[in-house]
Structure 1
Amino acid sequence: MGAPWRRLPDLMRETRILMGMPITVDIGGEPSTLIRSVFDYFEQVDRRFSTYRTDSEISAINRGDVPVKDWSGEMMDVLALAERTRNETGGFFDIHKADGSLDPSGIVKGWAIRNAAEIVRQADVCDFFIEAGGDIQCSGKNASGEDWSVGIRNPFKTDEIIKVIYPRGRGVATSGIYARGQHIYNPHGFGDPITDIVSLTVIGSDVLEADRFATAAFAMGRDGILFIEQAPSLEGYVVDVNGRATPTSGFGDLCKP
């Protein structure tokens, strides 16, 4: 005899512009309260880490207004993660800018999404989807009772989906130049822009793992997909400047519904 049929809670979707990007949350349970809590959290992250806000903690740190002993625990956690990622990627991920200031935005997004997902889980909601600027953490099923699916866009024609993957609880992050223009540079090449690839999607055990390696791997250019291939917990899919796609060896398993 099969398992008893269980109706999934209706999922509520809401999108807001926060942290300079669209953030979408789909969750079940008590959406009016829980969704508000999730967006409140993203607002707190923006107030602390935005380099575009003069009143943020990171801006105060970069001005030299806050001694290290007064840095928040969240700031210390993110900076420690950034340093760990710099070491693990041979320096291809580096939050230090040429002028000596710090810009942790390359790791904050994935960190914030992961923490937002934990807020949802602590509310005993297991079916959810959180996306911020193309980086995604999902869990459980969608409103139709099916696994969440994520489309990878064609970087040359962004209204076209070239691959569909089923993360099944894993995190997804994409780095590229098609949405924001050239903003990722090779830190070992005198700040040279990356010109041989245009999009790199990374799938990790959670969105933080995917996000913190996606930017670094993109900065490696064509060698980035080899770095992802050699990382046992990561899979990836890169599109080069000629439109040729290269997946890691385990990527195909993620495309199976």
Structure 2
Amino acid sequence: MGTAVSIELADDLPAARLGELIADVCRWLHEVDARFSTYQPESEVMRLRRGELTAADASEDLRHVLNACADLWRATDGYFDAYAGGPLDPSGYVKGWSVEVASARLAAAGSTNHYINAGGDIRMRGHHPDGGPWRVGIRHPWEADKLSWVLALTDGAIATSGTYERGDHVINPRTGKPAQGLRSVTVVGPDLSLADAYATAALAMGEPGLKWLAKIATDGYESAVVTDDGRAFSSANLPAAV
């Protein structure tokens, strides 16, 4: 998926079993990459783009992703748009969803304490090896050696979308131009699939995204935002570390 993935297991399980769990996660993520890649010409997404595959004949996972993207388009008033850049590109949902599924698979297999980080999309459960919550630093959007916030969670998801590493990669679908107004958007909630998509949608909205983020806080999705002109905002229940 064009990014590095780190997996940390803090369970009291035999080393061989931990290795099996990590191998299963890696197999799943490679399967997702092969199916949803916009770079590999034989992926399902690319075949769908070329008209060689119909949605009805696609895999169950691809049908799920297409339906989820349609739901998110409606929920975000069109700001989460898998077609914003032209051809279908569900990457803004797929990465978070794939890690959410990976975490669920680990939990079902007996790993109740783990942390998966896929390029800043993070899902954690249980406790850190030292017994406390998992701590996550949110990078300062201008000074790479500094942090804007440090969050602490025992079960939840964190997704950050910003313009400071990959440039203007998020498009405002209303204008067709790169999103402006917000430099960094972090969303924290129970499901990484949604947290990732919500962060992307809010960034696409620009400053109006601040009001929209306040609304989704009622659904359990907290946020931390830095604007293009350096102002910082966070929701009331953001799980900031003491």
The TM tier, using the shorter chain, reads over 0.9
8 Å Cα contact 2:141/2:183 also seen in 1? yes
Q: CA deviation at 1:195?
A: 2.5
8 Å Cα contact 1:110/1:135 also seen in 2? yes
- Deviates further, 63-72 or 118-127: 63-72
Q: Which runs of 5+ in 2 are unaligned?
A: none
Which residue is equivalent to 2:139? 153
- Deviates further, 165-174 or 145-154: 165-174
Which residue is equivalent to 1:183? 169
Q: SS state of the match for residue 255, structure 1?
A: coil
Task: Output the aligned Cα RMSD.
Answer: 1.2
8 Å Cα contact 1:22/1:133 also seen in 2? yes
Which of 58, 83, 96 is the equivalent residue of 2:83? 96
Which residue is equivalent to 2:4? 22
Q: Are 2:57 and 1:70 aligned?
A: yes
8 Å Cα contact 1:201/1:214 also seen in 2? yes
Q: SS state of the match for residue 163, structure 1?
A: strand
Q: CA deviation at 1:200?
A: 0.5
Q: Are 2:208 and 1:223 aligned?
A: yes
Which residue is equivalent to 1:132? 118
Which of 184, 189, 201 is the equivalent residue of 1:204? 189
Q: CA deviation at 1:74?
A: 0.2
8 Å Cα contact 1:225/1:247 also seen in 2? no
Q: CA deviation at 1:249?
A: 2.3
Q: CA deviation at 1:102?
A: 0.8
Q: Are 2:31 and 1:44 aligned?
A: yes
Per the normalisation by structure 2, the TM-score is 0.94
8 Å Cα contact 2:180/2:204 also seen in 1? no
Cα distance between partner residues in 1 of 2:142 and 2:204? 19
Q: SS state of the match for residue 130, structure 1?
A: strand
Which residue is equivalent to 1:53? 40
The structure with the largest alpha-carbon Rg is 1
Q: SS state of the match for residue 218, structure 1?
A: helix
Which residue is equivalent to 2:103? 117
Cα distance between partner residues in 1 of 2:93 and 2:54? 22
Cα distance between partner residues in 2 of 1:97 and 1:157? 30
CA spacing shift, 1:111–1:118, aligned 2, 3 Å:
same
Q: Are 2:220 and 1:238 aligned?
A: no
8 Å Cα contact 1:130/1:138 also seen in 2? yes
Cα distance between partner residues in 2 of 1:246 and 1:168? 23
Q: CA deviation at 1:98?
A: 5.2
Q: SS state of the match for residue 166, structure 1?
A: strand
Q: Are 2:152 and 1:166 aligned?
A: yes
Q: SS state of the match for residue 212, structure 2?
A: helix
Cα distance between partner residues in 1 of 2:195 and 2:56? 31
* CA displacement 1:153-190 (0-9 Å, x = unmatched): 0010122112101132111100001111111121112x
Q: Which runs of 5+ in 1 are unaligned?
A: 1-18
Which of 166, 175, 192 is the equivalent residue of 2:177? 192
Amino acid aligned to 2:8: D
Amino acid aligned to 1:226: K
